[in-house]
């Protein structure tokens, strides 16, 4: 039985009825209320009618793809999204992540594992921590789940937000790929998750560059990443680094 305190809503979008039924059953067993859609158009209609706590999208569907729908959702929402696909190559995984997905699961998969991933994403998105993480003019409020630079809000997906928090908590220090993967996707194999991490960091840099043209995240060759220390909160000047 699920240990979720309330009944969060998940939207499952897949053109295969059998797949939706299997996924919905597994999610319900973990305490989710489930809505289903067979294509992007149906899903978008449901999304305009109510809010969901987690969204699970099939990558390949008739009409608009899951990646296209994911990108559209990301224009206005940071709801956690898991992408499903029988196309398990790294290129297809990157397409989903670049569209804004927080996690990627290749078919065939264990339905219980998918349900547990959805539960973990939901809990992380709901977790309330009262203290802010501050790096100069960059302020992360974990209770409100917001990121602001000089007061300008930066909209991030759930995985982007968690990477940002992890790096900001260790400002000026090197974080290994494995440590970041564990902070964002707990329990995922570090080798398999490295490509997901790189894509998520790329998206995070892109979002942050919209409010600050300077470098905020350094590559640490062969190790991982480091967030640059903002040494002047009044004007956002940075220590040296490269995007």
Domains of the chain in start order, with CATH, are 9-126 (3.40.50.2300), 132-238 (1.10.10.10)
Q: What is the mean pLDDT of residues 146-162?
A: 89
Rg over alpha carbons for the chain, rounded to the nearest Å, is 18
Alpha-carbon gap, residue 230 to 171, rounded angstroms: 9
CA distance 130 to 57: 32
> What does the mean pLDDT of the chain come to?
84
How many other CB atoms are found less than 10 A from the CB of residue 148?
A: 16
**Length of the chain, in residues:** 243
Torsion of the alpha carbons at 230, 235, 239 and 243, rounded to the nearest 10: 90
Nearest-angstrom CA–CA distance, 171 and 183: 15
**CA distance linking residue 183 with residue 159, whole number of Å:** 10
The secondary structure of residue 75, as a DSSP letter, is T
pLDDT(188) > 80: no
In a 3-state reduction of DSSP, which class is residue 218?
A: strand
Residues 33-88 pLDDT 10s: 999 999 999 999 999 999 999 999 999 888 888 999 999 999 888 899 999 988 66
Compute φ and ψ for 146, nearest 5 degrees: -125, 150
Higher pLDDT, 142 or 92: 142
More confident residue, 40 or 196: 40
**Placement of tokens 């940075």 in the chain:** 238
| Residue 90 or residue 163, greater confidence | 163
Lowest pLDDT segment from 25-29, 96-100, 188-192: 188-192
228-237 pLDDT, tens per residue? 988 655 443 4
64 neighbors 39 (Cβ within 8 angstroms): yes
Reported pTM: 0.65
Residue 73 structure tokens: 């959702």
Q: Are 176 and 223 a contacting pair, CB within 8 Å?
A: yes
Query: Residue 55: its pLDDT value, please?
Result: 96
Nearest alpha carbon to residue 160 among 189, 139, 180: 180
**Where residue 23 falls among pLDDT bands split at 50, 70, 90?**
very high
The three-class DSSP label of residue 36 is: strand
- Sequence-ordered list of residues with C-beta below 8 angstroms from that of 188, at least 6 positions apart, any chain: 181, 182, 196
Residue 187 has pLDDT above 80, yes or no: no
Q: Which residue has the higher pLDDT, 85 or 167?
A: 167
Mean pLDDT (whole number) for 216-242: 69
């Amino acid at each position: 039985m699920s240990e979720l305190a309330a009944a969060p809503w998940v939207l499952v979008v897949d053109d295969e009825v059998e797949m939706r039924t299997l996924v919905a059953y597994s999610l319900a067993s973990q305490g989710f209320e489930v809505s289903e859609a067979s294509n992007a158009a149906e899903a978008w209609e449901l999304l305009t009618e109510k809010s969901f706590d987690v969204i699970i999208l099939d990558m390949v569907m008739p009409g608009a793809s899951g990646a296209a729908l994911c990108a559209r959702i990301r224009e206005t929402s940071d709801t956690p999204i898991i992408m499903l696909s029988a196309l398990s190559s790294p290129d297809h995984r990157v397409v989903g992540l670049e569209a804004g997905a927080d996690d990627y699961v290749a078919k065939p998969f264990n339905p219980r594992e998918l349900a547990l991933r959805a539960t973990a994403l939901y809990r992380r998105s709901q977790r309330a921590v009262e203290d802010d993480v501050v790096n100069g003019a960059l302020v992360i409020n974990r209770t409100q789940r917001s990121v602001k630079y000089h007061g300008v809000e930066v909209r991030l997906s759930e995985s982007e937000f968690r990477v940002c928090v992890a790096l900001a908590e260790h400002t000026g220090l090197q974080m290994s790929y494995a440590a970041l993967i564990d902070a964002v996707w707990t329990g995922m194999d570090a080798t398999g998750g490295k490509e997901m991490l790189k894509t998520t960091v790329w998206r995070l840099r892109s979002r942050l560059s919209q409010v600050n043209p300077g470098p905020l995240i350094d590559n640490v060759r062969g190790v991982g990443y480091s967030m640059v220390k903002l040494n002047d909160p009044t004007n956002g000047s940075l220590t040296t680094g490269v995007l």
